[in-house]
Amino acid sequence: MKEGHAKFVICTSTLAQGVNFPIRYLIISATQQGIEKIKVRDFHNLMGRAGRAGMHTEGSVIFSAPSIYDQRRSEDEGWRWNATKNLLDPARTEPSRSSILNLFDEFEQTPRLKLRPC
């Protein structure tokens, strides 16, 4: 891509998040990964791929499902619009925890003794 041999790449979010592609346009066709809805933090990671420094000065995120917007007031389908808007809100990011920290859960944290100078 950097050398101009490929003009576009079509891939899953797994590849898009795992490979450092410099992209200008990120086209979102769905807000789910398989049967699960995409996490806000994963979605923000995807958005961060568009307009990366060193290749493009800005990027665009395009939702390719206009029906989500068109049906935003529908009683049956309006939830899709709200779920999509929630993806854009960084305050809704799910907490993450390192699996390494889980190894230390069983150990009780005790305060250290404070030593006074002599």
Could you report the average pLDDT of every consecutive run of 10 residues in the chain (118 residues)? 74 74 81 83 84 78 88 91 89 80 72 65
Which residues, in sequence order, are bridge partners of residue 18? none
Q: What pLDDT, on the 0 to 100 scale, is given for residue 71?
A: 92
**What are the two backbone dihedrals, phi and then psi, of residue 28, each rounded to the nearest 5 degrees?**
-100, 120
- Do 30 and 65 form a contact (C-beta atoms < 8 A)? yes
Q: What pLDDT, on the 0 to 100 scale, is given for residue 96?
A: 75
**CB atoms < 10 A from the CB of 78, how many?**
13
Q: What pLDDT, on the 0 to 100 scale, is given for residue 75?
A: 92
- Do 45 and 17 form a contact (C-beta atoms < 8 A)? yes
- Which parts of the chain are beta strand (E)? 25-28, 32-33, 36-37, 60-63
Q: What pLDDT, on the 0 to 100 scale, is given for residue 112?
A: 64
Q: What pLDDT, on the 0 to 100 scale, is given for residue 74?
A: 93
Amino acid present at 33 = Q
Residue 110 CA to residue 29 CA, distance in Å, equals 50
Q: Please list the alpha-helical segments (H only) found in 1-118.
A: 13-18, 40-47, 66-70, 78-87, 99-102
